[in-house]
Homo-oligomer: A and B are copies of this chain.
């Protein structure tokens, strides 16, 4: 499986565990909602800064987004 897909699935999983919407995650991370959607679909090659923003918004460490 493609790394973008893996990352997207992992992100969606962590978001749902916290029971927040894409809209809320967008606000917390400072990103826009359609972009979050694209990331979760595995369509986006996100940058280091975005990865860190998402981890912070989820209240986890960056490395946790890369655990299997």
Number of copies: 2
User: Secondary structure at chain A's binding surface: helix, strand, loop or mixed?
Assistant: helix
Residues of B within 8 A of A7 (CB): 48
The answer to whether A4 and B49 have CB atoms under 8 Å apart is yes
**Chain A positions 33-62 with a Cβ under 8 Å from a chain B Cβ:** 45-49, 51-52, 61-62
Count class of interface residues, chain A: 10 to 19
Contact B52 A3 (CB under 8 A): yes
- 14 A-B pairs within 8 Å (CB atoms) are namely A3-B49, A4-B49, A7-B48, A45-B47, A45-B49, A46-B48, A47-B47, A47-B48, A48-B51, A61-B66, A62-B66, A63-B63, A63-B66, A66-B66
